[in-house]
Structure 1
Amino acid sequence: MKVLFQSRTTVFSAPGGDTVQLLKTREYLEKLGVEVDIAEELEPDVSAYDLVHVFNLMRVQEAWLQVRNAWGQEKPVALSTIYGLYTEYEQKARGGLFGLIARHSGPYMLEYLKIAARCFTSGELHKGALSVLGQGYYRTLKRIVSRVDVFLPNSDSEMARVAREMKLVDPPYISVPNAVDTEVFDYDRVDASAMAEYQGCLVCAARIEGRKSQLNLVRAMRDLPYRLLIIGKPSPNHMAYYEQVRQEAGDNVTFIDAVDHETLAGYYKVAKASALISWMETPGLSSLEAAAMGCNLVITEKGDTRDYFGDYAAYCEPDDVNSIRRAVVEAMESPFDEALRRHVLDNYTWDRTAAATLKGYRMALTRGGKA
């Protein structure tokens, strides 16, 4: 089987969780005998492929061209949705002019305006963006999902969210779990001697931006007898937020720039717990990685986290400092439950992700080239 991967145009220049998902899925599919290419061109010739796999429904300006191109060449389409709007954050917590606009706009108009803004501020003016600006964000979403042969969400709850918003009835899908790289995040093999000074800390590894709610995390840590280690770079468009986080951080908070995965594994090994309290997670790779390394979890209620972690985590609301504080104390004062590590390693590994993806491909191929 020969498959073409396509994602957002910035998937490598501005890497994120979807970049990891794309590359690791390719790596483990190839171990199953699937030949995988990645196309950065939006509308390539796909005649040499059995199927086109598109990642990231949130980026409709690219996904629409990619799906339409495959559909027009009569190739089956698999879609990794990676879908979860940050509308609640935009309307409740975002500051500045965009926050003001968000509080007076619906979710799809908000996404439409983001695409319009990126055309001029980020150089993302291309055929796909112009198409969305002409036909609207929600209409583009509907046109994309109508041409998909199989959906590959990261969880059942993500598929339910997509189906609810797009008004889909009984969509064909296979839940493809996000995963942890067990070759990197292997507790017994990781040498964390260089991180000994952070033994027993709370670690938060994520881009520093409003959606990740680090400001409320540092507020929740005030006067607590724990050390917080924040690992990550500020998002370019959130520098004022980053400066506020640093300004309000107490003496028990340390900042470290983004590190590679091998180094991050060492920090997780010495940490007592990990915090990822975003406004939306599906479910957040860092929480899976931290759990594999023996960390208790402080995680958001928003998104699909309970699908993955059930009763193994301390949950909180990203806009409620007291809720965050309670979850931090619970995680820092509780012994680690080895059942959490077993749960992650038994269910959320890349070989399982690849197997589920291949099952989805076979479903798409039986449905034919057009949805």
Structure 2
Amino acid sequence: MNILFATSQATSLVRGGVLTQVLQTKEALEKLGVKVTLFDMWKDIDIREYDLVHIFSANFATYHLARAFKVKGIPIIISPIFFTRRSKRLVKGVIAIDKFINRISRGFWTDYGLIAEMCHWAKAVTPNTKEEATLFQQAFSVPKERIDIIPNGVEERFAHASPDLFVKQYGMKDFILSVGHIGPQRKNVLRLIKALEKIDHPSAIIGRIENTPSGIACIERAKRNPRLLILDSIPHNSMLLASAYAACDVFVLPSQFETPGIAALEAAVAGAKIVITPIGGTKEYFSGDAIYVNPYSVKDIANGIKTALQKDKSSNLKERIMNQYSWKKVAEKAKLVYENVLNNL
């Protein structure tokens, strides 16, 4: 089996969860004997060499790429990595308006319309959570039989991480930690920073700082809190990041939504207690072993962190995530989806 992986050109610049998902899935599939090639726009390729293309992220940045593959006649699988808090009825309505206007005159585009068209081309749509799957079935009208959930995964190395490196470098242990881009509205870092002001406990936020009004506002606000350390982008493959997870007591990811947040999975298998958004399918992964907070309430985020600080650590979550969400398990499910698609062409 020969699979081509593709995603947005910006992924290598932005880094983050999509890149991790692509690279870790590729590595795990190759261990199962599946040949995986990363699409390189600067190299000539013979599309006939590949059985299918798996596109990660459904949005305006991948739309024309998907269309080009469709025109070439290669089967497409799409992992949307997409969620919205807007009602399914609203999303469906926008898609209907998009289709109506484009029947009359081309040139009117919406994100929802582009995503719907990509999913229409796909032989399979593979969301990360049941909640995301429901969104695509009900709002984007993807038939249930073309939806296969492929979860996100976590690397085993985080389960064996030592706190020593981070403690030695920054002199912090049993602190509050968050890992994620600083600036995007969805990541909700400004509210987190405000919540941390209400807690007399050391904390750290690790993430790429965006040069945007929102990113700048986060950094300026963080300066008010002498207990808060901001670290700009520790590489994902760094031992220091794994050590930070192992050194912290509580990991917080109060995003507007997550599906489910790879950083939270990594922190959980490193032994951290988890405080996270309930939106996007996180409860499917963390179940009753996490504290869920309203991402729009600074008070609720702060109270959730305070509650977590008072709890004892448990190995239940770590063991369950390692058993259910290793990248090996992810690759096995992906391989099964590929086989089903190819057997039904």
- In the TM superposition, 1:131-170 aligns within 5 A as 134-170=108-144
Checking the alignment, whether the CA contact within 8 Å between 2:128 and 2:151 is kept in structure 1 is yes
Summarize deviations over 1:258-317 as a string: whole Å, max 9, x none. Answer: 212321111111111101101111111110010011100010122111111111111101
Checking the alignment, whether the CA contact within 8 Å between 2:91 and 2:112 is kept in structure 1 is no
1:37 corresponds in structure 2 to 37
**Structure 2 residues not aligned, in runs of 5+:** 96-105
Could you say what secondary structure the match of 2:53 adopts? Answer: strand
**2:208 aligned with 1:233, yes or no?**
yes
| CA distance in structure 1 between the partners assigned to 2:257 and 2:46 by the alignment | 35
Larger mean Cα displacement after TM superposition, 32-41 or 294-303:
32-41
- In the TM superposition, 1:322-341 aligns within 5 A as 322-341=299-318
Q: CA deviation at 1:82?
A: 0.5
Q: Decide whether aligned partners of structure 1 residues 190 and 326 sit closer, same or farther in structure 2, where only a CA change above 3 A counts.
A: closer
Could you say what secondary structure the match of 2:306 adopts? Answer: helix
| CA distance in structure 1 between the partners assigned to 2:133 and 2:344 by the alignment | 19
Checking the alignment, whether the CA contact within 8 Å between 2:176 and 2:251 is kept in structure 1 is yes
Identity %: 24
Aligned length: 328
| CA distance in structure 1 between the partners assigned to 2:327 and 2:162 by the alignment | 19
Larger mean Cα displacement after TM superposition, 213-222 or 283-292:
213-222
Larger mean Cα displacement after TM superposition, 213-222 or 313-322:
213-222
Larger mean Cα displacement after TM superposition, 282-291 or 151-160:
151-160
Q: 1:291 aligns with which of 243, 257, 268?
A: 268
**2:162 aligned with 1:186, yes or no?**
no
Q: Decide whether aligned partners of structure 1 residues 182 and 142 sit closer, same or farther in structure 2, where only a CA change above 3 A counts.
A: same
Q: Decide whether aligned partners of structure 1 residues 16 and 109 sit closer, same or farther in structure 2, where only a CA change above 3 A counts.
A: farther
Checking the alignment, whether the CA contact within 8 Å between 1:195 and 1:266 is kept in structure 2 is no
**2:7 aligned with 1:23, yes or no?**
no
Larger mean Cα displacement after TM superposition, 194-203 or 267-276:
194-203
**2:70 aligned with 1:66, yes or no?**
no
| CA distance in structure 2 between the partners assigned to 1:213 and 1:65 by the alignment | 30
**2:51 aligned with 1:75, yes or no?**
no
Could you say what secondary structure the match of 2:156 adopts? Answer: coil
- In the TM superposition, 1:120-139 aligns within 5 A as 134-139=108-113
| CA distance in structure 1 between the partners assigned to 2:18 and 2:92 by the alignment | 21
**Structure 1 residues not aligned, in runs of 5+:** 89-105, 112-131
| CA distance in structure 1 between the partners assigned to 2:128 and 2:278 by the alignment | 16
2:51 corresponds in structure 1 to 50
Summarize deviations over 1:16-67 as a string: whole Å, max 9, x none. Answer: 210111111111111111111111329964111011111101x2342x3333
2:190 corresponds in structure 1 to 215
Checking the alignment, whether the CA contact within 8 Å between 2:152 and 2:262 is kept in structure 1 is yes
Q: CA deviation at 1:109?
A: 11
Checking the alignment, whether the CA contact within 8 Å between 1:211 and 1:278 is kept in structure 2 is yes
**2:247 aligned with 1:246, yes or no?**
no
Checking the alignment, whether the CA contact within 8 Å between 1:182 and 1:349 is kept in structure 2 is yes
Q: 2:64 corresponds to which letter in structure 1?
A: L
1:202 corresponds in structure 2 to 176
2:295 corresponds in structure 1 to 318
Checking the alignment, whether the CA contact within 8 Å between 2:16 and 2:180 is kept in structure 1 is no
Q: Decide whether aligned partners of structure 1 residues 109 and 9 sit closer, same or farther in structure 2, where only a CA change above 3 A counts.
A: farther
Could you say what secondary structure the match of 1:260 adopts? Answer: coil
